[in-house]
C-alpha cells in the first residue's frame, strides 16, 4: 500500500516538472522571437491632418438652383360669352402686340349698336328741340313782362292824376303780375347763367344714349381677342363654331424676350446678395453656360417657403431658351480681405469655449489653444485672436488628442503640409 502511494506521488511530481519545463521553453521561445523582431513593439502614433495658417481673402460661396422663367406668361380669356367665328393662330405662332387672335360672333351686338345709335340721335334732337322751345318761350315771356310793366307804370301815373278809375288800375296790375310770374318761372330755371333744368334733363338723356352706344361698341371690340404684347402662342383651346364662356382659358401667350432664373435662398445667403452682381448660369438640359446679372433680391421672406426669392436675368439669345428648365449657378462673395482663417472642421467647441489643436513641427506634439472666431462661411472660419500666421492647425483626429501628445501627420494632408508631415514622421 505504501509502495502504491509513493508511486502516485512520483507521478504527480513528474507531471508538475513537465509543466514547468514547458513554461520555461515557451518563455525562452518568446524572448528569442522578441529579439529577432527588434525588441518590444512600439505604440503607434495618432494620425492627424494639418493646415498651415496663412493670410488670404475670406469668401462665401453661394450655390443657386432654380428654373428658367419667361418675361411673361399670359392666359387669354374672353370677356363675354359667345360663339367663335374665327381663330387666327396655331400653337407656336409668333404674334405681335395688338394682333387679332380670335373673333366671336358680333351679329347681335351690331343690331344693338344700330338701335342705340338711333336712340342717341333721337335724344340729341329732343334736347335741341327742347332748348329751342325754352328760349322761344323765355323771349316771349320777357317781352310780355316788359310791355305789362310799362303799361302798369303808366296806369299808376294816370290814376295819380285822377285820369282813370281804381278798377282800371287793378286790371293793369293783374296783367303785370301774371306776365312777371311767367317770366320769373322761365328765368329761374337758368339762374346763375346755367342751362335751364328742362333743357339740361334732355341733354343728359342724350349724353346717356351716347355712352350706351360707346359701351356697346366697346363690348363689340372685346369680342376680338387681341395679343396684349409680342410673344408665342403656347396653348390653344378654341375652334370655329365653339361656344366660349366668359373668363374661360382659351389661349396662352409666352413672351421670351427676356429669360430669367428664379431661385430660393436661405436668409444667410440672401443677406449678402445685391442686385447688379454678375453671375454665370448653367442649364444642364442645353449643355450650355450663360452669363447673367442678379436683378432682384426679395426684401421679405416667403410665407410658405420660408426662403428668399432672387432673380437672375440672362444675357444670352433668349429665343433658344425655354421656360421651366433647371438651372444652376454660384456666386463667391468677398467677406474680408487679407485675414487669417482655418477650415471649420478644425474648430472645437466645448462648454462655451472655442479652441483648436496646434501641431509643433519641432517636437511632433500638439497643444490646444483657445481662439476667437470672426466671420464664417460654409467651409472656413476667421481667426480673430489666438493664432499666428504660419502655425499648423489640426483639422482631423482632434477627438483623440491631448496636450503634449506626439502625433503623425497623414501623407494625405494638403500639399502645403508635406514638409510638416515629414517632420512628424521623423
Question: What CA–CA distance (Å, rounded) separates 220 from 70?
Answer: 32
Residue ending a domain, choose from 276, 305, 336: 336
Residues 376, 411 share a domain: yes
Asked whether residue 96 is domain-assigned, the answer is no
Please report where in the chains the cell 442649364 appears, as a residue.
283
Domain CATH code at residue 398? 2.40.420.20
Question: What pLDDT is stored for residue 378 in this prediction?
Answer: 79
Give the three cell numbers for residue 232: 408665342
Question: What CA–CA distance (Å, rounded) separates 49 from 56?
Answer: 20
Q: If you ran DSSP here, which 8-state letter would residue 190 be given?
A: T
Asked whether residue 32 is domain-assigned, the answer is no
Please report where in the chains the cell 513593439 appears, as a residue.
41
Residues 345, 306 share a domain: no
Handedness of CA 335, 338, 339, 341 (dihedral sign): positive
Domain CATH code at residue 332? 2.40.30.170
Domain, as residue range, for 402: 48-58+337-425
Question: What CA–CA distance (Å, rounded) separates 41 from 5?
Answer: 50
Give the three cell numbers for residue 143: 317781352
Angle at which helices 166-189 and 107-160 pack, to 10 degrees? 150
Residues 323, 341 share a domain: no
Residues 171, 139 share a domain: yes
Asked whether residue 18 is domain-assigned, the answer is no
User: Taking Cα atoms as reference points, which of 101, 81, 106, 87 lies closest to residue 244?
Assistant: 81
The gap from C-alpha 410 to its chain's centroid, in whole angstroms, comes to 48
Residues 341, 312 share a domain: no
Residues 343, 315 share a domain: no
Asked whether residue 306 is domain-assigned, the answer is yes
Secondary structure of residue 301 in the 3-state scheme:
coil
Tens digit of pLDDT at every position of the chain (426 positions): 555 555 556 566 666 665 666 667 766 665 655 555 554 545 678 888 899 988 888 888 888 899 999 988 999 999 999 999 999 999 999 999 999 999 999 999 999 999 999 998 998 888 888 877 777 777 887 888 888 888 888 888 888 888 888 888 888 888 888 888 877 777 777 655 567 777 778 888 889 999 999 999 999 999 999 999 999 999 999 999 999 999 999 999 999 888 999 999 888 888 888 898 889 999 999 888 899 899 999 888 877 778 899 999 998 665 678 888 999 998 888 878 888 988 988 899 888 889 999 999 899 899 999 999 888 887 888 888 988 898 999 988 888 888 988 888 875 444 444 434 333 443
DSSP track, 69-110: EEEEEEEE--SS-EEEEEE---TT-EE-TT-EEEEE--HHHH
Question: What pLDDT is stored for residue 126 in this prediction?
Answer: 84
Secondary structure of residue 176 in the 3-state scheme:
helix
Asked whether residue 162 is domain-assigned, the answer is yes
List the beta strands (DSSP E) in 346-417. Answer: 348-350, 353-359, 366-370, 372-376, 380-385, 392-396, 407-409
Question: What CA–CA distance (Å, rounded) separates 109 from 101?
Answer: 20
Asked whether residue 146 is domain-assigned, the answer is yes
Asked if residues 269 and 235 have their Cβ atoms less than 8 Å apart, the reply is no
User: Taking Cα atoms as reference points, which of 381, 285, 371, 385 lies closest to residue 325?
Assistant: 285
Asked whether residue 104 is domain-assigned, the answer is no
Domain CATH code at residue 184? 1.10.287.470
Residues 272, 358 share a domain: no
Residue ending a domain, choose from 320, 336, 352: 336
User: Taking Cα atoms as reference points, which of 103, 99, 95 lies closest to residue 253?
Assistant: 95
Question: What CA–CA distance (Å, rounded) separates 185 from 145?
Answer: 12
Question: What CA–CA distance (Å, rounded) separates 227 from 230?
Answer: 7
Question: What CA–CA distance (Å, rounded) separates 211 from 359?
Answer: 91
Give the three cell numbers for residue 5: 502511494
Return the bridge partners of 423, or none.
Answer: none
Asked whether residue 183 is domain-assigned, the answer is yes
Handedness of CA 88, 89, 93, 94 (dihedral sign): positive
Residue ending a domain, choose from 336, 360, 393: 336
| 305 contact partners, CB below 8 Å, separation of at least 6 | 264
Please report where in the chains the cell 395688338 appears, as a residue.
98
| ∠ Cα 277 279 282 (to 5°) | 160
Question: What pLDDT is stored for residue 318 in this prediction?
Answer: 59
Residues 328, 342 share a domain: no
Question: What CA–CA distance (Å, rounded) separates 217 from 251?
Answer: 24
The kind and range of the H/E element at 234 are strand 231-236
Residues 347, 305 share a domain: no
**Residue spans of alpha helices (H) in 257-401:** 267-270
Tally of domains in the chain: 3
Residues 321, 377 share a domain: no
Residues 346, 412 share a domain: yes
Residues 116, 188 share a domain: yes
Compute the half-sphere exposure of residue 197: CA atoms within 13 Å on the CB side of its CA.
6
Amino acid at each position: 500500500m505504501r509502495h502504491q502511494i509513493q508511486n502516485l506521488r512520483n507521478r504527480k511530481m513528474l507531471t508538475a516538472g513537465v509543466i514547468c519545463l514547458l513554461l520555461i521553453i515557451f518563455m525562452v521561445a518568446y524572448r528569442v522571437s522578441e529579439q529577432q523582431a527588434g525588441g518590444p513593439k512600439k505604440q503607434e502614433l495618432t494620425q492627424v491632418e494639418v493646415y498651415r495658417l496663412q493670410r488670404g481673402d475670406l469668401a462665401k460661396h453661394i450655390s443657386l438652383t432654380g428654373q428658367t422663367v419667361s418675361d411673361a406668361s399670359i392666359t387669354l380669356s374672353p370677356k363675354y360669352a359667345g360663339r367663335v367665328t374665327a381663330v387666327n393662330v396655331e400653337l407656336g405662332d409668333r404674334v405681335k402686340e395688338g394682333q387679332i387672335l380670335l373673333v366671336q360672333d358680333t351679329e347681335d351686338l351690331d343690331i344693338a349698336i344700330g338701335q342705340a345709335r338711333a336712340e342717341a340721335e333721337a335724344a340729341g334732337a329732343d334736347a335741341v328741340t327742347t332748348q329751342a322751345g325754352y328760349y322761344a318761350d323765355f323771349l316771349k315771356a320777357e317781352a310780355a313782362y316788359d310791355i305789362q310793366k310799362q303799361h302798369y307804370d303808366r296806369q299808376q301815373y294816370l290814376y295819380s292824376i285822377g285820369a282813370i278809375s281804381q278798377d282800371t288800375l287793378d286790371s293793369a296790375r293783374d296783367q303785370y303780375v301774371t306776365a312777371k310770374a311767367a317770366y320769373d318761372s322761365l328765368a329761374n330755371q337758368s339762374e346763375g347763367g346755367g342751362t335751364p333744368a328742362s333743357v339740361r334733363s334732355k341733354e343728359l338723356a342724350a349724353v346717356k344714349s351716347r355712352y350706351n352706344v360707346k359701351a356697346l361698341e366697346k363690348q363689340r371690340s372685346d369680342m376680338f381677342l387681341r395679343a396684349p404684347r409680342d410673344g408665342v402662342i403656347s396653348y390653344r383651346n378654341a375652334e370655329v363654331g365653339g361656344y366660349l364662356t366668359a373668363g374661360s382659358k382659351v389661349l396662352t401667350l409666352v413672351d421670351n424676350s427676356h429669360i430669367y432664373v428664379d431661385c430660393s435662398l436661405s436668409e444667410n445667403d440672401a443677406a449678402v446678395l445685391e442686385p447688379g452682381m454678375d453671375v454665370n448660369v448653367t442649364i444642364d438640359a442645353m449643355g450650355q453656360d450663360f452669363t447673367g446679372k442678379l436683378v432682384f433680391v426679395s426684401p421679405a421672406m416667403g410665407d410658405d417657403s420660408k426662403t428668399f426669392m432672387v432673380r437672375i436675368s440672362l444675357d444670352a439669345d433668349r429665343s433658344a431658351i425655354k421656360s421651366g428648365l433647371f438651372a444652376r449657378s454660384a456666386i463667391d462673395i468677398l467677406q474680408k480681405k487679407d485675414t487669417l482663417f482655418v477650415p471649420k472642421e478644425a474648430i472645437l467647441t466645448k462648454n462655451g469655449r472655442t479652441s483648436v489643436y496646434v501641431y509643433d513641427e519641432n517636437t511632433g506634439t500638439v497643444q490646444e489653444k483657445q481662439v476667437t472666431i470672426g466671420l464664417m462661411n460654409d467651409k472656413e472660419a476667421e481667426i480673430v485672436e489666438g493664432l499666428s500666421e504660419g502655425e499648423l492647425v489640426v483639422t482631423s483626429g482632434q477627438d483623440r488628442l491631448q496636450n503634449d501628445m506626439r502625433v503623425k501627420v497623414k501623407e494625405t494632408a494638403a500639399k502645403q503640409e508635406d514638409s510638416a508631415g515629414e517632420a512628424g514622421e521623423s
